[in-house]
Structure 1
C-alpha cells in the first residue's frame, strides 16, 4: 500500500551546513521544509568526517569546531520546525499533474512540494577501503574511517594510514591523547599543507609520532573485532608488525551523485549547473546550492553556500507564492518569524 505523501513548501536534499541554513532562510520567508539526507545525522561531512576539526572562515567566528557549527545551525533552524528524513536517499524526482515536484525516498516515503533545493554537497560519499582480508570484522570496532571524538582514542595505540590532510591532521591531533601514534605511508612526501608536514616531522623528531615509511598496509591481527596488530610491508615485501588497538585508514572518499545524475538537470562535470541569480537549475522550481552547484567564478566555501541558500530561498518563495509581494525586512527588524 502506498503511503500518503507529505505536503510541504520546499524539499531540501542534503542536511549539511548549507542545507541547514537553507531551512532557516526558507523559514524567514515563511516556507515550510522537509529535509532529506542519506546520513543518519545532520551536518554532512562536518559531522561524519571531522566534527572536532576547527573551521576558520565562518564570519564572526575566528575559530569554530565543525560539530559546534552544525549544532548552532540546527538550533537556528529549529524555530521553523523542519521535518527531517535521515538515513534516506531521494530515489525519484518527478513532476505531478499540477506542476509540483514529488520525491520518493528509499523507504517509499513520498513528499510533494512546489520547489526542491538540492544542497547535497558532493553527493553520497563513503570511504575508500583498503584491500585487507577480514577487514569487515573490525570495522566500527577497532577500524574507523572517521574520528568522532578524540577521547575515544585516549591511551590507545593508533595506526594511521594515508598521506593526505586527514591522515596528517589527525596524527598531529591524536598524538595529544593516544599512547602511541604510528603513521603509515608509502613515501616520505605527504599531500598536505607544508606547515602540517613540518609539524608532523617535528613531532616525529620529538618521539611523539612514529613514522612508518615507506610502508603500506599488509594484514591484520586480532579477534572478535578487536585489533592486536597491523602488519605493514615495503614494496620489496619486507613485513613489519605494529602492535595496535585501532587503525584509521584515510584513503579519501568515494563520491557518488547517485540518482541526482539521472534527474535531467544540466550538469557540468558531476556538478549541477545553475544560474547564480537565484541558484536556479535547468528545471523550473529546482534549485541547487553549496558544493554540488557550479557557475563561473564559483568558490567552494561554506560561507558562499550560505549566501546561495539565502538567494535560493527568496527565489523559491516566488515559485511557492507567485505574485505575492514580499515586504523584506532585515532580521534585526523583523526577528525570527514563528513557524
Structure 2
C-alpha cells in the first residue's frame, strides 16, 4: 500500500531531523527514511560522545545529545520514521508527485522529497585480515566508538594515523587497561595539538606507540579476540594482547541509488540553488553535506539554514497559491507548547 504524505526526508542525521521541525512549523507532514537503525547519522555512528563546538548556544555538546535534542524538537510534529531502510527507487508519477520505494518495500508518495543524506551511504574501510568478519560479529573488532565505558579495563589496539585514531587513543587511555596504537610511520595525520598530546601520553607510558608496524593478522578462540598480529615492512612480527581492535582507516562513501536519480552531480554532491536548496528536478531538494553550491560551507549550521529554506520552498509546492506570512517561533509556538 502506498502511503501519501507531504514531504519524504531521506536521511535522519541532524539536518534531516531539523528539516522535520521546519516542515512541521509550516504544517507539512514528513516521513523520514534512513539506512541506519536509529536517528543521528554520522553524529551517533562516528562521534556520539565527542563534543561539537560550533552549534549556536551550545559551547559544547556531544553528538548524542545534539540528536536527542533534535528528536525532541521534531516530536511535536509526529514524524514517521523508517529506520534500517534505503531508498531504492525514486520515480515521478502522473500526478506530478514522487513515488519512493525502499529496500523493505515501503512505498511513499509525496510532492516533495528532501535529500539530507550527508555524504551518502558510508561504511568503514576494513583491513584485509583473515577471519575479520568473525571478530566483527562478536565485537572484538569495531570501527566506531559509541560508548567509551564499554572499553573500561580492556586491552585496546588502535590502528591508524588520522584524527579518529589519535583522538580515541587519547580518550580511551583514561579508561582502558592498555592502549596500543599501530601506525606505519612516526608522523600522524592529526591536528597538531592532538598529535602532541598523543606523543606526551606515550612518553608518560599511558599509551604505547607501535611504530613502524601494520596489521597482519588476528588471534582468538570462538570469535573472542585475544591478540593482534602486526609486522614491519621487512617482516618483523609482534603479537599484541588485545580484547578489542579499533581500525580507523577512514570511511568509504557512496551515493548508492542517489547517483541514478538524474540529478545534477558535482563530485558526488548534488548541485542546488542556494536560495531554496532546489535540485535540477522539480520538488526535490538537497540539504546538508550532500548539497553543493558556490561558497558552500560544510557545517551543520549551514545545513540547518538550508533545511529552513527548503521547507519554505516546499510549502509553495504542497500548498500552491497559499501565502505564508512568516512568523517567528516565539510568536507562533509549536503544537502542545505553552
Relative to the length of structure 2, the TM-score reads 0.98
Q: After superposition, what is the alpha-carbon deviation per residue over 1:108-134, rounded to whole angstroms, capped at 9, x for unaligned?
A: 111000000000000000111000001
Partner residue, 2:156:
158
- Structure 1 position 52 matched with structure 2 position 49: yes
Q: Which structure 2 residues correspond to residues 204-243 of structure 1 after superposition, within 5 A?
A: 204-243=202-241
1:126 aligns with 2:123: yes
Cα separation, 1, equivalents of 2:96 and 2:192? 53
**What residue in structure 1 maps to residue 33 of structure 2?**
36
Distance 1:225 1:44 in 2: 28
Kindly state the Cα deviation for residue 265 of structure 1 after the two structures are TM-superposed: 0.5
Give the match's secondary structure for 2:21: helix
Distance 1:234 1:50 in 2: 31
Please state whether the residue corresponding to 1:15 is helix, strand or coil.
coil
Runs ≥4 residues deviating over 3 A: none
The alignment yields a C-alpha RMSD, in angstroms, of 0.9
SS of the aligned residue for 2:265 comes to coil
What does residue 324 of structure 1 align with? 322
Rounded Cα–Cα distance in structure 2 between residues aligned with 1:216 and 1:190: 14
Other structure's SS at 1:241 match: strand
CA-to-partner distance for each residue in 1:16-39, whole Å, 9 max, x for gaps?
000000000000111000000011
Q: Secondary structure at the match of 1:178?
A: coil
Counterparts of residues 1-339 of structure 1 (less than 5 Å) = 4-140=1-137, 141-337=139-335
Cα distance, 1:337 vs. partner? Answer: 3.4
SS at match of 1:117: strand
Partner Cα distance (2:31, 2:42) in 1: 20
Q: Deviations over 1:272-319 (max 9, x none)?
A: 000011100000100000000000000000010000000000110011
Q: What number of residue pairs does the alignment pair up? A: 336
Could you tell me how far apart the structure 1 residues matched to 2:59 and 2:151 are?
27
Supply the distance in 1 between the matched residues of 2:152 and 2:253 (Cα, whole angstroms).
Answer: 31
Q: State the shift of 1:326 in Å.
A: 1.0
> Deviation of residue 158 (structure 1)?
0.1
Name the TM-score, length of structure 1 as normaliser. Answer: 0.98
**Per-residue deviation, residues 138-163 of structure 1 (Å, max 9, x unmatched):** 00421100001000000000000001
Partners of 1:323 and 1:31 in 2: how far apart?
15
Give the Å deviation of 1:225: 1.5
Residue 338 of structure 1 deviates from its aligned partner by 5.7
